[in-house]
A and B are shown apart, each in its own frame.
Chain A
Amino acid sequence: MVTTVKDGWELVVGLEVHVELNTVTKMWCGCLTDFGDDPNTNVCPVCTGQPGSLPVVNGEAIRSAALIGLAINCSIHEVSRFHRKNYFYPDLVKNYQISQYDVPICYEGHLELEVEGLPVRVGIERLHMEEDTGKSTHLGGSGRLHGADTSLIDYNRAGVPLMEVVSHPDIRDPETAQAYVRELQGIVETLGVSDARMDQGSMRVDANVSVRHPGDELGTRTEIKNLNSVRSVGRAIAHEAQRQIAVLEDGGTIRLETRHWDEGRGVTETLRVKESVTDYRYFPDPDLVPVHCPAEWVEELRTSLPELPAAARTRLEAEGVDGAQAAALVSTSGMLAVLDGAVEAGADARTAANWLVGDIAGQVAAAGTTFTDSGITGAHLGELLALVDDGTLSNNLAKQVVEHLVADRGARMPAEVAEAEGLQQVSDTGELQAIVDQVVADNPDTVATIRDGNAKAIGALVGQVMKATKGQADPRATNELLRASIID
């Protein structure tokens, strides 16, 4: 069940998702987009706004934006253009941001989501391109621009291509908002056009939230800025809805304002009140020419689209993977590639999905990494499952192998790990027989009980064998050998 905010109230949410594209170079110049490098090393006259410098559109960014647009079912404007959004801020090198305004590259699309087992469609108003700003670090004083002693600015990020996807206010509950963000993340990742890492800021979400009585006009909205995890998106929206309802039920009014989500305290707080609408004095950027996306080019691009998350879910379910697992596989960064690789290596999709979504995902998360960074590939999983299948590994041992795979980032293959770490099942009858004989000899009372007809007691002896072999004994073989030596 999705969360209902409160009886008699309806939540209305629209999302603005910023995605930093992972093009090699910046939007307007040839500088690398590696903004994590030493401060102000990936900069040039253009991206530091030196007098006389001029922007030139990065064609790769246009292609990436159009690809995303097609993936979210948008139409592509054959001719779109860039405007200047004028405002003063120290990390904005030209004191205007080049952005698309009246004619964005992509318009009117939608995402088909599955939320708690039910299909939901969220409309998308537009996708437009813009440039990122530099990054300010405020030292001393308040720690914000106002009141800081000193501010340092790193322009490595200035001019990195940024895309903004604006949804219609079609979202009615936090879960749908989360599903929407995850879906978009999955799409962008599948297309390979962005890391879409919310934790690293390459994907950022602003939520416009309002509440109303069902059937009423839209209420006054507040905008929650820079939500940096899917979890925060859900929590912040749920909290903001409750806050607004409380204010309204108390006879108060909602102010049009920007709010900040405090993850630690779980509350939203006023960032700045929009007393008057900021006048950005948008006008067409005279330094740039219109962007052309000819219909033939768009069609060619459409045919190059890879399998998208929604299609992948359908395919997985057809292969027998459980719906929830399919959703997890598709929305977890890098996981689907591992599954597809394992299946290619001969694994059963359902078994592979069980392992991935269950134990492996848990271990990867516990290690603080992601599938993309874990080094674990489809080849690893395929081999692991084959080893379980042929009895070389028990489920238990396989889990221990996974621990090693995660720990050394897939540097070794499962067979190698099992061998080197002594994790193979002992099913060699001769070796096992000696241990079984020893256990039988050491436990005369239990043996007597079994011979008296209490077959269940054999479990205790299996346990002893396991203990003696440090878990490596093949349980079935052990069982058979015990029965043979006790009963026969």
Chain B
Amino acid sequence: MTADLLTASAADLAGRMAAREVSAREVVDAHLDRIAATDGDGTGDADVHAFLAVVADTARRHADDVDQRRVTGRDLGPLAGVPLALKDLFTMRGAPTTVGSRILDGWVPPYDATVTERLRAADVIVLGKTNMDEFAMGSSTENSAFGPTRNPWDLGRVPGGSSGGSAAAVAACQAPLAVGTDTGGSIRQPAALCGLVGGKPTYGTVSRYGMVAFASSLDQAGPLARTVTDAALLQSVLMGHDPRDSTSIDEAAVGQPYPDLLATLDDGVDGLTIGVVTELRGEGYEPAVLAAFENSIQRFEALGATIVEVSLPHASYGLPAYYLVAPSEASSNLARFDGVRYGLRVDAPTAEEMNAATRGQGFGPEVRRRIMIGTHALSSGYYDAFYAQASKVRRLIAQDFASAFDTVDVLVSPTSPTVAFPLGDKTADPLAMYLNDVATVPASLAGVPAVSVPNGVDGAGLPIGLQVMGPLLGDDRCYRVARALEADLDLDPIARGPHALAAPA
């Protein structure tokens, strides 16, 4: 019974709760027990260490409340009572928000993020806050100040990042759903490495209010789940105009509604034109990743899609442009962590020295590196060559996407050039780490939606992901194509590995 609750999809759990076959409290307790059994504190080799904080009492109270309201016959949302793991960069009252950093030591946010509010309003039950690369800067979760998260498929490997804790929690069946954030691939890459579905919504469809900023013009929250339907259901809860976020898309103002992610989910790919991006495969991609990708292209064709080769001529400049734009914004966004108002303060004789000492001790090496890169890129004399030039490249990439979508319905590529790599493999080489994002940053720079869907495993049984990219507000198409592949591949969504549970019957 318990194992069955853990491996069930969110949609299935919600259905069973709605039918009163199982209570939200039972579902939540099962997941809290699973966390207790598998998560540890990150010191043991078998610790998944997906969570930085578990809010068991709050979660149980919320579950009881859902059950009570269910008894009174209230109409609850489609995910009511379903547990969820929340990345630790969303503010949530009553628990610390760390962003994977020491700099926020002791800070308990005085307000809830819009995402947190929307989850609560939908009666999705937050179990806790998940581990992440410090300030979402990284692709392995090894940049967390609180120790790395392990990949449930192979505990010696990374779960990807920066939303590695969220991905690992779902892969380890500690929660059927998680919310992550994606700046340059931080949902899609860990989804690929953990055998999950991960969505990066169209920029502006999920409010950033209460999301601790890394790079404001790129950051976007999105779902992680074991099935496409679950991810689409969760993203539907997250999306919506928010007047507290100026960059939030106002349907009335743009004259286009937010996409309905569920309406066409099962329509298949028959009749769609799928573009294969020339620049996003080939050199630097592992053979198994490329083989799985080619295999899926053939499947799409067999399912009735038209496959065309599409060039995004500027996509190859995506990575360098991203690594200028994102650190530039970060260098400014992270200036507020100065020891004056909240978080860590390292005392020193003057305010200036206190700022420097606090930031020196509070930020880890990768965060300091990016602040320095960004500070340099924005400096007078370098601004034009770096920040301004990168912004130009960004506009060109957005144009590339726009032209491509004149002729194709979606674009596809491998999500990540590699499968999950061993812990410590790339920590000494920042550039090798940055290359993880090569296929995911173009969509981020263009603001377009993208979904990573499981695309089989390599010879060692490690998951591989395929990325589907759509036009602005075309998130529904991404999910539709992802769902078609999911149905066709019919993979076991439950992670193999030491903590493996049996797949749902």
Q: How many residues of B contact A (CB 8 A)?
A: 46
Cβ of A84 < 8 Å from any Cβ of B? yes
In the assembled complex, the CB of A85 is this many whole angstroms from the nearest CB of chain B, namely 10
Please name the residue on chain B nearest to A288 by beta carbon.
Answer: B246
Complex contact A283–B378 (CB within 8 A): yes
Partner of B335 from A53, A90, A95, A153 at Cβ < 8 Å: A95
Determine the chain A residues whose CB is within 8 A of the CB of B329 once the complex forms. 283, 286
Given A50-B342, A54-B209, A94-B336, residue A145 in contact with residue B351 (CB < 8 A) = yes
Instruction: Give Cα A50 to B92, complex, Å.
Output: 13
Complex contact A146–B350 (CB within 8 A): yes
- Interface size class for chain A? 20 to 34
Cβ of A281 < 8 Å from any Cβ of B? yes
Complex contact B352–A88 (CB within 8 A): yes
Contact flags B87-114 to A (C-beta < 8 A → 1, else 0): 0011100000101000010010111010
Determine the chain B residues whose CB is within 8 A of the CB of A153 once the complex forms. 340
Contact flags B243-273 to A (C-beta < 8 A → 1, else 0): 1111100000000000000000000000000
Complex contact B340–A86 (CB within 8 A): no
Cβ of A251 < 8 Å from any Cβ of B? no
Determine the chain A residues whose CB is within 8 A of the CB of B338 once the complex forms. 88, 90, 95
Please name the residue on chain A nearest to B381 by beta carbon.
Answer: A279
Determine the chain A residues whose CB is within 8 A of the CB of B97 once the complex forms. 51-52
Please name the residue on chain A nearest to B135 by beta carbon.
Answer: A51
Given A90-B340, A96-B335, A145-B351, residue A56 in contact with residue B247 (CB < 8 A) = no
Cβ of B383 < 8 Å from any Cβ of A? yes
Interface of B is mostly: loop
Please name the residue on chain B nearest to A28 by beta carbon.
Answer: B246
Complex contact A51–B245 (CB within 8 A): no
Partner of A281 from B109, B113, B375 at Cβ < 8 Å: B375
Complex contact A281–B355 (CB within 8 A): no
Cβ of B210 < 8 Å from any Cβ of A? yes
- One of B53-61, B212-220, B287-295, B434-442 contacting the partner: B212-220
In the assembled complex, the CB of B341 is this many whole angstroms from the nearest CB of chain A, namely 6
Cβ of A410 < 8 Å from any Cβ of B? no
Partner of B110 from A50, A54, A88 at Cβ < 8 Å: A50
Complex contact B244–A56 (CB within 8 A): yes
Interface of A is mostly: loop
Complex contact A51–B336 (CB within 8 A): yes
Contact flags B199-239 to A (C-beta < 8 A → 1, else 0): 00000000011111101110000000000000000000000
Question: In the complex, which of the residues A45, A146, A281 has the most CB atoms of chain B within 10 Å of its own CB atom?
Answer: A281
Cβ of B332 < 8 Å from any Cβ of A? yes
Instruction: Give Cα A311 to B213, complex, Å.
Output: 50
Determine the chain A residues whose CB is within 8 A of the CB of B51 once the complex forms. none
Given A52-B211, A90-B340, residue A283 in contact with residue B332 (CB < 8 A) = yes
Complex contact B336–A93 (CB within 8 A): yes
Determine the chain B residues whose CB is within 8 A of the CB of A289 once the complex forms. 246-247
Complex contact A287–B341 (CB within 8 A): no
Partner of A54 from B99, B208, B335, B341 at Cβ < 8 Å: B208
Partner of A88 from B111, B246, B335, B383 at Cβ < 8 Å: B335
Interface residues in B121-175 by Cβ distance below 8 A to A read none
Cβ of A362 < 8 Å from any Cβ of B? no
Determine the chain A residues whose CB is within 8 A of the CB of B340 once the complex forms. 90, 153
Instruction: Give Cα A305 to B57, complex, Å.
Output: 59
Please name the residue on chain A nearest to B338 by beta carbon.
Answer: A95
Interface residues in B54-84 by Cβ distance below 8 A to A read none
Cβ of B380 < 8 Å from any Cβ of A? yes
Instruction: Give Cα A184 to B109, complex, Å.
Output: 43
Please name the residue on chain A nearest to B329 by beta carbon.
Answer: A286
Cβ of A151 < 8 Å from any Cβ of B? yes
Complex contact B341–A49 (CB within 8 A): yes
Please name the residue on chain A nearest to B116 by beta carbon.
Answer: A52
Contact flags B319-347 to A (C-beta < 8 A → 1, else 0): 00000000011011001111011100000
Complex contact A52–B109 (CB within 8 A): yes
Cβ of B379 < 8 Å from any Cβ of A? yes
Complex contact B244–A52 (CB within 8 A): no
Determine the chain A residues whose CB is within 8 A of the CB of B375 once the complex forms. 281
Partner of B243 from A49, A56, A94, A286 at Cβ < 8 Å: A56
Partner of A287 from B113, B246, B350 at Cβ < 8 Å: B246
Contact flags B376-389 to A (C-beta < 8 A → 1, else 0): 00111001000100
Contact flags A246-277 to B (C-beta < 8 A → 1, else 0): 00000000000000000000000000000001
Determine the chain A residues whose CB is within 8 A of the CB of B380 once the complex forms. 277, 279, 281
Instruction: Give Cα A57 to B245, complex, Å.
Output: 10
Interface residues in A145-159 by Cβ distance below 8 A to B read 145-146, 151, 153
Instruction: Give Cα A86 to B379, complex, Å.
Output: 10
Determine the chain A residues whose CB is within 8 A of the CB of B350 once the complex forms. 145-146
Using a CB–CB distance below 8 Å, which chain B residues touch chain A? 89-91, 97, 99, 104, 107, 109-111, 113, 208-213, 215-217, 243-247, 328-329, 331-332, 335-338, 340-342, 350-352, 355, 375, 378-380, 383, 387
In the A-B complex, the 7 residue pairs with the smallest Cβ-Cβ separation, listed nearest first, are A95-B335, A286-B217, A281-B378, A286-B216, A51-B212, A52-B210, A94-B336
25 contacts between A and B (CB under 8 A): A45-B110, A45-B111, A49-B336, A50-B110, A50-B111, A51-B104, A51-B109, A52-B113, A52-B209, A52-B211, A53-B209, A54-B244, A84-B332, A86-B332, A88-B335, A90-B340, A90-B351, A93-B336, A145-B350, A146-B350, A277-B380, A283-B329, A286-B247, A288-B246, A289-B246
Known contacts A45-B111, A50-B91, A277-B380, then 11 further A-B pairs from the complex at CB < 8 Å, ordered by chain A residue: A45-B109, A45-B110, A48-B341, A50-B109, A51-B107, A51-B337, A52-B90, A54-B244, A86-B335, A90-B338, A145-B350
